[in-house]
Structure formats: structure tokens, C-alpha cells
A and B are shown apart, each in its own frame.
Chain A
């Protein structure tokens, strides 16, 4: 099992550019989520999905879009990058329907917007 994979590991964007952060898991987990980590802020939930075709907003969804067409993949799209989106992004997955299931995290993507 590869677990949760994220690509790219590093990315530099110019303000206004768009891009997609990729996330995939091979554990057949229904639940997937995206977090951003900023210094002194902990991890904040951006969007999450409880299964293919179902997504919902988290705490800080503005400026990001998601879709979930398959169980395995949960890409995060930045529509028009802003310097405030400079952060480390983590994707996570877990079994759904079992409250409190351990969330498995990907290695993270470090994004810089200039």
C-alpha cells in the first residue's frame, strides 16, 4: 500500500495562476479531506468528502474547489492563487461510518504564491 500520496511536493505560483494539488489513496477509504497548515495556526480544514460525488466545505474553503469522482482521488484546485494561500497543504483519508477512525495523512505539498 502506498497510503496517501500527494503531488507535487513543492510548487511556486505567481498571483493569479491556477493549479491542482493531487491526492490519491489506495486504502479504499470513503472519507478524504484537505487541510492547510500555517505557522501558529495548526491545521485547518479546507474541504472534505464522505464518498465519491459528495463534498462539503470546511473551515477555510474560499479560493479552493474540490471534486470527488472516484473513491481514490480528491484533487484540490486553486482557482486564482493569492499570496494568502502560501501554506503547506495536507490531504488525509480515513474509513467513514466509524467515528473516530484514524486519519492517514499524505506527506504534504509546500506551496508558495509570489
Chain B
């Protein structure tokens, strides 16, 4: 069985602060993919990143960066110099070879960036 844990239910920061959203996963698959999605107040789900289990390189995209560590089964997401527009619910998700394309989501972290 797959499981994704986002221990932080809510985080509140002041604009320009850096913030890290934690994601810990469990899977028996050796081949799997991890995702982050953003859900702004408007409600749509926006794909941010996909990472496969064989690629542990960290990724940076503008103010966003992701740290994938298989040794600790973690896929953490950092926003540098946060902005009010970053306020959203962020979901971490997992799919594996044994899951038949099923995507398992964490419960999400509500990030509020205050001006």
C-alpha cells in the first residue's frame, strides 16, 4: 500500500520568508513517481513537478526547489522569498508500478503568505 504524509496542516509566513513544505512517503515499489500540486483559492489543481525514483537530483525552478531523499523517503518543497500569490494548498502525491496508475495524495498543507 502507498501512503503520503504531509505533517504540516497549515503554515503561515510573512512575505519574503523562505518556507519548506514536508512530504514523507511510503511505498513497496522500487519504481515510483512523486508529484507536487498547487491548489490556489480559485480551486483548480496546478501541476508543479514530477520526480521519478531513480533521479535524486534536486530541482530548482525560479523560487521553487525540491529536495528528494530516498534514504528518508522524503520529497520536500521549498519556496524562497515567498509571495502572497504563493498562498494555496499544496499537495504531495505518489504513484508506483504496483498501483496501476493510482495516484495517492497527502492531505495537503495550507500555506498562507501574509503581506
Contacts and interface: CB of A to CB of B under 8 A. Distances in A.
Given A100-B50, A103-B47, A108-B44, A43 B100 contact: no
B95 A102 contact: no
Given A99-B31, A100-B52, A108-B44, A42 B107 contact: yes
A90 interface: yes
A56 interface: yes
Contacts of A96: 101
Q: Which of B44, B45, B91, B108 has the most CB of A within 10 A?
A: B45
Contacts of A92: 103
Interface residues of A, number: 26
Contacts of B63: none
Nearest to B52: A100
Interface string B41-81: 00111010010100000000000000000000000000000
B101 A50 contact: yes
A88 B43 contact: yes
Contacts of A5: none
B105 interface: yes
Interface in A41-60: 41-45, 48, 50, 56, 58
A83 to B, nearest CB: 21
Interface in B28-42: 31-33, 35, 37
Contacts of A104: 47
Interface of A: 31, 33, 35, 40-45, 48, 50, 56, 58, 88, 90, 92, 94, 96, 99-100, 102-105, 107-108
